[in-house]
Amino acid sequence: MPLDQIPRTAYNEDHEAFRETVRRFMKEEIAPHRQQWAEDKIVPKEIWPKAGELGMLCPTVPEEYGGLGLDFGYNAIVDEESSYNGGVATGFSLQSDIVCNYLVAYGSEEQKKKWLPRMVSGETITAIAMTEPGVGSDLQSITTTAKKDGNHYVINGSKTYITNGQNADLVLVCAKTDPDADPAWQGVSIILVEADREGFERGRNLDKIGMDEADTSELFFHDVRVPITNCLGEEGKGFIYLMSELPQERLSIAISAQASAQRVFEDTVEFTRDRKAFGKPVLGFQNTRFVLADLKAKLQVGWAHLDWALARHLKRELTPEEGAAAKLWHTELQWEVVDKCLQLHGGAGYMNEYPVARAWRAARVTRIFGGTNEIMKELIGRGL
């Protein structure tokens, strides 16, 4: 059953009207360029203002800062349609679902007025720099520092695996403003760094096994000076801010994973219906039907759970453990679906010209970013 025919409970008529706009944009402006952007290893910056014109970027930003003041359901629709009809990791969700929230919740009035309207319009592309070489999910162990020098911070360090790193005009940098803090998390702050600051350098656009079109970069900071007013919220509260926004980030990943799995499933049903083996369609074999029937049942459960989680989040009731569980379950489901569907494609599934191969490669990272699924289990387990 196509995505637009799946009964949903999390959305109203306004949401679904917005979906039509997003779906058309994805089909006309994004999907036709998948191959070229994958070869270029980047999504062109020119596409961002086009998305901004349609209200697809940061729709939750309050109207006084240039946004539409809508709920997260509109973000979720962009996430679903990006995975289902676009098939491209544009970087929109990072800006709309993650970075935007930090600025709205913790930014100063000056920061909000300067950056939020530009993020909504697509004039400014953002990134958030957490991960460092040798430091993965353990943000307390970061070594990038932001030391005070008069009314400035001087930032030194490096980051890696940064989404939107090549395109970013503004980077939210997680740094130690107090390296001696005990416990260590009390020394972490988030500093806004404009990409034109002296001493800021972009490293390689990293070569990944999937999501080829998404620019993922190394970033370097060599005595980068920024005003102390570039600190997001209070100094030393960065770790708390990061933890408070994780349920939405993980729900966003779950949404994209579910939509991607749904599209791969539908494509596979069509492929096995058309492809013949031993004189009959591959779908005619009991094994094929049983595999697909099992996946269909799990996808049905997945959409019901996702709507439950969305409804909880729209009421600001989704807990960190529930967000972690959503990320864990839906990304594991995504992997099961794409892997079994690739198998049903036979040799064709190993060819990059088939969507299932690209989806399979792209799906591998969803169990890693946003916190590995092992970390998700640890977080859920702590609440037992």
**Integer Cα distance of 226 and 248 in angstroms:** 29
DSSP assignments along 78-147, one per residue: HHHHIIIII-S--SHHIIIIIIHHHHHHH--HHHHHHHHHHHHHTSS-EEEE--BTTBSS-GGG---EEE
Residues of the chain within CATH 1.10.540.10 domain(s) are: 3-124
- What pLDDT score does 226 carry? 98
Quick one: tokens of 139? 């943000």
What is the identity of the amino acid at 102?
Y
In the chain the beta strands, taken as DSSP E runs, fall at 126-129, 145-149, 152-163, 170-176, 188-194, 200-205, 216-227, 276-277, 280-281
DSSP class of 4: G
**Integer Cα distance of 188 and 176 in angstroms:** 5
- What pLDDT score does 136 carry? 66
| Whole-structure pTM value | 0.94
DSSP class of 317: -
249 is catalytic: yes
Domain 127-235: assigned CATH number: 2.40.110.10
Cα dist from 314 to 60, 94, 177, whole Å: 11, 19, 34
Out of 3.90.1150.10, 1.20.140.10, 1.10.150.120, 1.10.3720.10, which CATH number does the structure's domain 245-382 have?
1.20.140.10
- Label residue 186 exposed, middle or buried (CB < 10 Å: 0-12, 13-18, 19+): middle
3-state class (DSSP) for residue 285: coil
Catalytic one among 80, 81, 235, 249? 249
Please state which architecture CATH assigns to domain 3-124.
Answer: Orthogonal Bundle (1.10)
- What pLDDT score does 135 carry? 76
Q: What is the pLDDT along the chain (384 residues), one digit of tens a residue?
A: 678 778 899 999 999 999 999 999 999 999 999 999 999 999 999 999 999 999 999 999 999 999 999 999 999 999 999 999 999 999 999 999 999 999 999 999 999 999 999 999 999 999 999 999 877 666 778 899 999 999 999 999 999 999 999 999 999 999 999 988 878 778 999 999 999 999 999 999 999 999 999 999 999 999 999 999 999 999 999 999 988 888 999 999 999 999 999 999 999 999 999 999 899 999 999 999 999 999 999 999 999 999 999 999 999 999 999 999 999 999 999 999 999 999 999 999 999 999 999 999 999 999 999 989 999 999 999 989
Beta-strand relationship, 152-163 and 188-194 = unpaired
Select from 55, 129, 131, 130 the least CA-distant residue to 96.
55
Residues of the chain within CATH 1.20.140.10 domain(s) are: 245-382
Quick one: tokens of 33? 């360029």
3-state class (DSSP) for residue 93: helix
Quick one: tokens of 237? 């509260």
- What pLDDT score does 82 carry? 96
Residues of the chain within CATH 2.40.110.10 domain(s) are: 127-235
